[in-house]
Amino acid sequence: MSRWEPNTRERLERAALELFAERGYDDTAVAEIAERAGLTKRTFFRHFTDKREVLFSGQDILSRLFADSIAGAPESATPLQAITAALEASGVAFPPERFELARQRRDVVAANASLRERELFKRAALTEVMAQALRARGVPDPSASVAAELGALAFGMSYLRWADSSGDEKFADIARETLEELRAAAAALK
């Protein structure tokens, strides 16, 4: 196949997730992913540093998206309104055509301890990104930290809820509702 074919990255991603699901993450080699995608190892390494990055590169994009959305929220926005804007913006990473990929990814991560560890770490990094962005808006601690924790928790729950859904509901809507649920739960906590 031509190396100029579009969507090379997504083809590699689909091939990787198929293989991870079929034979397990640990037992899948980069060469096999490239072969399944009809591409070379060299092409794989132009897109990803290793097979783990196929599963986690999206979270770096999310980090930037979150930081930019919080920074760009109206000056009058409350901390949770800024986080709501960030969660809604992250919906671009979860379009309907990626629904099956998101489900596969969830199952692959859930089945592997070191991937679960990586997921928890990435979630924690995302929390810190949101907390920093809120502090930069003048939100004092501990409010910035608490709001960021709720935001990260809402994000994680929304991802699982979306993946568990029929796929008809928009990620942004699920995320907004989930954050509001968490806000109410936090306010009622004794």
| 120 scored as a contact of a copy of itself (CB under 8 A) | yes
Query: What's the closest the beta carbon of residue 78 comes to a copy of itself, in angstroms?
Result: 4
Query: What's the closest the beta carbon of residue 173 comes to a copy of itself, in angstroms?
Result: 17
Query: What's the closest the beta carbon of residue 76 comes to a copy of itself, in angstroms?
Result: 12
Residue 95 or 140: which CB sits closer to a copy of itself?
140
**Angstrom distance (rounded) from CA 158 to CA 111:** 19
21, 67, 111, 157: which one binds a copy of itself (CB under 8 A): 157
Query: What's the closest the beta carbon of residue 69 comes to a copy of itself, in angstroms?
Result: 18
Tracing tokens 């968490």 back to the chain, one arrives at 182
Q: Assess contact for 92 and 64: CB atoms under 8 A.
A: no
**Dmax of the chain from CA atoms?**
61
| 147 scored as a contact of a copy of itself (CB under 8 A) | yes
Convert residues 4-43 into a mask of x (bound to a copy of itself by CB under 8 A) and - (unbound). Answer: ----------------------------------------
| 124 scored as a contact of a copy of itself (CB under 8 A) | yes
One-letter amino acid at 130 equals M
**Angstrom distance (rounded) from CA 84 to CA 70:** 9
Segment 46 to 105, residues that bind a copy of itself, using CB under 8 A: 78-81
For the record, the structure tokens of 108 come out as 């692959």
For the record, the structure tokens of 107 come out as 């199952």
Residue 30 or 157: which CB sits closer to a copy of itself?
157
Q: Assess contact for 45 and 132: CB atoms under 8 A.
A: no
| 160 scored as a contact of a copy of itself (CB under 8 A) | no
Strand, coil or helix: 167 = coil
User: Helices H, strands E: what count in the chain?
Assistant: 9, 0
Enumerate binding residues for a copy of itself (CB under 8 A). 78-81, 117, 120-121, 123-125, 128, 142-143, 145-147, 149-150, 153, 157, 181-183, 185-190
